[in-house]
């Protein structure tokens, strides 16, 4: 007896991104995605989970067993049926399909070029941008004698305050952290926040290549550079990991 076709559920977006749908259900979801704004938005939101999904990918022993691989015929068939006005929207959603699968199989770096309208519009990897910003400006750094966390900042004066890029290494997770600018008056402003996955950043014995690379991130403070006394790297529960005197 043939099994009746199961309806596509809006909740399938998470299952699709994690690669737990079978081949038939994955194909049905791809077709459903082209006309469902709700699922397209939810799948795009899931792209923010890259650090967690990257760690999951590290633990998969047989990546080829994952079934959430977009069918090559889906893009062609959709583009033949729609006009030029809808073509860009369809293409974007199918890139999201490919990116969701890449998150599980390929780790954090593989997805960035797939989240725009096409390769020619691909945004620069955020970490690469932060690293580029770090190369410019006035630098200061430290290695904390207690935590052994290595942290350094690069500062650029701006009309609105100070742009700050951070380089962080020898830090283990999981942690949620922030970079705080402390003024000479004692005033404090949060520059940026981020998460450190269990694998950590800038560890010589890191399990994966990206664990061995330092973290680069950036943000801004309304404080004028001349008013800043130091920057502190802290966990969100208040533990100080490093203090950078500037």
Classify 10 as helix, strand or coil. Answer: coil
Q: Residue 32 is inside which H or E element, if any? A: helix 23-33
| Domain spans of the chain, in order of start | 12-123, 127-245
Assign domain 127-245 to a CATH class.
Answer: mainly beta
pLDDT at 3: 46
The reported pTM is 0.51
Q: Which two tokens stand for residue 184?
A: 């000479």
Cβ-based burial of 230 (10 A; exposed 0-12, middle 13-18, buried ≥19): middle
Q: Which two tokens stand for residue 215?
A: 């973290």
Contacts (Cβ under 8 Å, ≥6 apart) of 220: 158, 160, 161, 162, 163, 164, 191
246 residues of the chain, pLDDT tens digit each: 444 445 556 667 777 766 667 777 777 877 777 777 777 777 766 655 545 555 555 444 454 444 444 444 554 554 455 444 454 555 555 555 555 544 444 434 333 333 333 333 334 445 678 888 899 899 999 999 999 999 999 999 999 999 999 999 999 999 999 999 999 999 999 999 999 999 999 999 988 888 999 999 999 999 999 999 999 999 999 999 999 999
Question: For residues 66 and 104, what is the distance between their CA atoms, to the nearest angstrom?
Answer: 8
The CA-atom distances, in angstroms, between 129 and each of 109, 137, 165, 191, 235 are: 13, 14, 10, 16, 24
The answer to whether 181 and 164 are in contact (CB under 8 A) is: yes
């Amino acid at each position: 007896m043939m099994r009746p076709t199961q309806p596509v559920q809006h909740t399938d977006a998470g299952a699709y991104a994690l690669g737990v749908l079978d081949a038939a259900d994955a194909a049905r979801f791809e077709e459903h995605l082209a006309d469902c704004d709700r699922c397209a938005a939810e799948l795009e939101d899931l792209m923010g989970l890259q650090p967690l999904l990257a760690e999951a990918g590290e633990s998969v022993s047989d990546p080829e067993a994952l079934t959430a691989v977009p069918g090559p015929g889906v893009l062609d068939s959709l583009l033949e049926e729609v006009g030029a006005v809808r073509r860009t929207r369809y293409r974007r959603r199918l890139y999201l399909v490919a990116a969701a699968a890449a998150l599980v199989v390929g780790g954090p770096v593989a997805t960035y070029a797939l989240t725009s309208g096409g390769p020619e519009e691909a945004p620069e990897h955020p970490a690469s941008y932060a690293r580029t910003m770090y190369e410019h400006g006035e630098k200061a750094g430290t290695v904390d004698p207690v935590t052994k966390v290595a942290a350094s900042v690069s500062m650029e004066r701006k009309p609105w305050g100070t742009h700050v890029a951070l380089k962080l290494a020898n830090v283990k997770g999981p942690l949620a952290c922030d970079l705080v600018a402390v003024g000479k008056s004692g005033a404090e402003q949060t520059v940026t926040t981020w998460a450190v996955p269990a694998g950590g950043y800038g560890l010589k014995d890191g399990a994966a290549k990206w664990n061995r690379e330092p973290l680069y991130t950036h943000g801004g403070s309304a404080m004028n550079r001349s008013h800043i006394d130091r920057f502190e790297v802290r966990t969100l529960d208040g533990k100080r990991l490093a203090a950078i005197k500037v």
